[in-house]
Chains A and B, each alone.
Chain A
Amino acid sequence: MIRFESVYKRYPTGREALSGVSFTVERGEMAFLTGPSGAGKSSILKLIALIERPTRGQVIVAKQNTATLKSRAIPQFRREIGVVFQDHKLLHDRPVADNVALPLIVAGVPERETTKRVRAALDQVGLLGREKSRPLELSTGEQQRVGIARAIVAKPPLLIADEPTGNLDPMLALEIMRVFKRLNDVGVTVVVATHDLNLIEQFPARRIVLGDGRIMADTAPAALAAATSTAASLAAAAAAATPAAPASA
């Protein structure tokens, strides 16, 4: 589903966010991207969603090479990917229902179908009944969930999320991760960038650990299951992440 081949990303400011990253996420797989902030998690997600293009290397998403994709084809490409943004990116002058419906509206889905799917998506994130609220009337956590509902409403085959539980209390965070897991169970490829190690500890999924623009560790779920204690793998992940922290700060 996603293939990165020696990807480098340097921003116009001169900062090199990614330095030769290679990995593959198969269709139907669920993967966590972890590592300290500034390690390159967000950059990887932006490259997948074609918000950014790599400076060097290849990014292939859903068999499409993002480097050669024509700008006319980008809207259709993005409709196949649900994105949860760290800063929500909601439209503050529209009610919750309109925000969630946006991916369906731009895709020309009929009104009745849209209403039905918006309700289903809001139900999944526990916000049924808040359709008419404005985003600013909601708590940060609720806004985050609106963003998640919007990402899943069009039932995209690929879901990517940037710190989707960052503003949620532990109970809600767990609930949201279960939503992602349920989607993954029905075949959606899910990539979640998070530094909440406690949370991902509870989900047996692949873990790609980033540090200073490089992949420090890539642990398959099988290996995780084999680990005798979750504390050990937690410590290993923390150890892998720690050396990179001073450089990225």
Chain B
Amino acid sequence: MNRLRAYLLRHAQMLVGSLGRLARQPFASLLTAAVIGIALALPLCLELILQNAGAATSAWNDAFEISVYLDKGVSGERAQAIQKELERRDDVATVRLVTPAQALAEFRVNSGFGSALDALADNPLPTTLLVTPSLAASTTEGTTALKTAIGAIAGVATAQLDSEWVQRLDAILELLRRVVFLTAALLAIGVLLIIGNTIRLDIANRRAEIEVMKLVGATDRFARRPFLWTGFWYGLSGGLIAIGLVAVVEFAIGGPTARLAALYGSSFQLNGLAWPTVGGTVLGAAALGWIGAWLTASQHIREIHPH
């Protein structure tokens, strides 16, 4: 029990000691941490864009809305019956009935062809049902099946589903997700190499000290330990710098994004990185630091023999 306490205490001392050692060379330490931070900031910025693109397009789920145009001769009662029938379906959330008169009024307001419409003898617009699929059915397959089912109902002229561009956007987002993942994986390897190289130089500089430790009976594990904590600090500070850089990017593109969204009549606002992503990044970076140091220190410390 005493031994365990002594062991943990030594670890804590090394944790603080390695931080102190880094603090004595603030410029060099900061430079290493900054390189790690920049490397990690790149995939994080991509992730930021992805996350917001996902949030922005989720508001456009009504792109899955199906416009159902009824036959010209269908009566108001029949239209309401079809509406009721559709509302009973599991894969339908809401059905909005638009009478030809309403449609004409909307068209008059939105199109600017008001006077031209006055020239028409009668209303050419059909009765329309706007069908929103339920959340479960809001997929490409679900809406396509629903569209086919609606098309078969008597009195329906056409059912139109214009989701092609949503599918394209989804495909682009999926591609971007892969790119983010691969970039993150490559840069993580880069971070391992950066930390490994820094630790290697650190070990070379402290070779005499390691030799003395080995002479008085230090195991390789013991001699390695302070370097693992050094790697941990490099990773942790690099992760924090990356989060800071992303915050700057958020601040810089937040205003323009809001203006762009306003031009599209949207009140969309840029969201910061999700907290799990922030926490995961900092912890992951610290772990990368530790692992990078472990890989290098294990090899190089074993090769040091006192003479």
Verify B5–A51 contact, CB threshold 8 A.
no
Q: Is A9 part of the contact surface with B, judged by Cβ < 8 Å?
A: no
Verify A106–B3 contact, CB threshold 8 A.
no
Given the known A-B contacts A91-B209, A105-B10, are A78 and B3 also in contact in the complex, defined by CB atoms under 8 Å?
no
Q: Is A202 part of the contact surface with B, judged by Cβ < 8 Å?
A: no
From A91, A102, A110, A150, give the contact of B5 (CB < 8 A).
A110
Q: A77–B222 Cα gap in the complex (Å)? A: 15
Return chain A residues, CB-CB under 8 Å to B216: 78-79, 83, 102-103, 106, 150
Verify B7–A106 contact, CB threshold 8 A.
no
Return chain A residues, CB-CB under 8 Å to B214: 75, 78
Return chain A residues, CB-CB under 8 Å to B219: 75, 106
A160 to chain B, nearest CB (A): 12
Q: A108–B5 Cα gap in the complex (Å)? A: 10
Interface residues of B in 177-219 (CB under 8 A from A): 209, 211-219
From A83, A93, A102, A111, give the contact of B6 (CB < 8 A).
A111
Q: How many chain A residues have a CB neighbour from B under 8 Å?
A: 24
Verify A106–B213 contact, CB threshold 8 A.
yes
Return chain B residues, CB-CB under 8 Å to A103: 216-217
Q: Is B274 part of the contact surface with A, judged by Cβ < 8 Å?
A: no
Q: A77–B215 Cα gap in the complex (Å)? A: 10
Verify B307–A51 contact, CB threshold 8 A.
yes
Q: Is B262 part of the contact surface with A, judged by Cβ < 8 Å?
A: no
B233 to chain A, nearest CB (A): 18
Q: A49–B10 Cα gap in the complex (Å)? A: 26
Verify B212–A91 contact, CB threshold 8 A.
yes
Q: Is B2 part of the contact surface with A, judged by Cβ < 8 Å?
A: yes
Q: Is B254 part of the contact surface with A, judged by Cβ < 8 Å?
A: no
Verify B217–A79 contact, CB threshold 8 A.
yes
Verify A78–B7 contact, CB threshold 8 A.
no
Q: Is A232 part of the contact surface with B, judged by Cβ < 8 Å?
A: no
B9 to chain A, nearest CB (A): 6
Verify A110–B215 contact, CB threshold 8 A.
no
Contact bitstring B1-27, A, C-beta under 8 A = 1, else 0 = 011011101100000000000000000
Verify B215–A78 contact, CB threshold 8 A.
yes
Q: Is B306 part of the contact surface with A, judged by Cβ < 8 Å?
A: yes
Q: A89–B208 Cα gap in the complex (Å)? A: 8
Chain A minimum-CB-distance residue to B218 = A106
Q: How many chain B residues have a CB neighbour from A under 8 Å?
A: 21
Return chain B residues, CB-CB under 8 Å to A108: 3, 6-7, 10
Return chain B residues, CB-CB under 8 Å to A138: none
Most chain A beta carbons < 10 A, residue from B7, B209, B216: B216
Please report the number of residue pairs spanning A and B whose Cβ atoms sit closer than 8 angstroms: 54
Verify A49–B215 contact, CB threshold 8 A.
yes
Chain B minimum-CB-distance residue to A82 = B216
B269 to chain A, nearest CB (A): 52
Q: A76–B220 Cα gap in the complex (Å)? A: 12
Q: A106–B6 Cα gap in the complex (Å)? A: 11
Q: A52–B215 Cα gap in the complex (Å)? A: 12
Contact bitstring A105-124, B, C-beta under 8 A = 1, else 0 = 11111110000000000000
Verify B306–A76 contact, CB threshold 8 A.
no
B218 to chain A, nearest CB (A): 4
Interface residues of B in 257-307 (CB under 8 A from A): 305-307
Return chain B residues, CB-CB under 8 Å to A52: 307
Chain B minimum-CB-distance residue to A85 = B215
Return chain B residues, CB-CB under 8 Å to A150: 216
Return chain A residues, CB-CB under 8 Å to B218: 75, 106
Chain B minimum-CB-distance residue to A101 = B216
From B6, B215, B306, B307, give the contact of A109 (CB < 8 A).
B6
Verify B3–A110 contact, CB threshold 8 A.
yes
Q: A79–B219 Cα gap in the complex (Å)? A: 10
Return chain B residues, CB-CB under 8 Å to A51: 215, 305-307
Verify A78–B217 contact, CB threshold 8 A.
yes
Interface residues of A in 83-98 (CB under 8 A from B): 83, 85, 89-91, 93
Chain A minimum-CB-distance residue to B221 = A75
From B3, B5, B211, B215, give the contact of A83 (CB < 8 A).
B215
From B209, B211, B217, B306, give the contact of A107 (CB < 8 A).
B217
| Pairs A-B, 8 closest by C-beta atoms | A79-B217, A106-B218, A78-B217, A110-B6, A103-B216, A75-B219, A75-B217, A89-B212
Binding site for B on A (CB under 8 A): 49, 51-52, 75-79, 83, 85, 89-91, 93, 102-103, 105-111, 150
Can you name 12 extra interface pairs (CB under 8 A) apart from A76-B217, A102-B212, A105-B10? Answer: A49-B215, A51-B305, A75-B222, A78-B217, A83-B216, A85-B215, A90-B212, A106-B213, A106-B222, A108-B3, A110-B6, A111-B6
Q: List 22 A-B contacts (CB under 8 A).
A: A52-B307, A75-B214, A75-B217, A77-B217, A79-B216, A79-B217, A83-B215, A89-B211, A91-B209, A102-B212, A103-B216, A103-B217, A105-B10, A106-B216, A106-B218, A106-B219, A106-B222, A107-B217, A108-B3, A108-B7, A111-B9, A150-B216
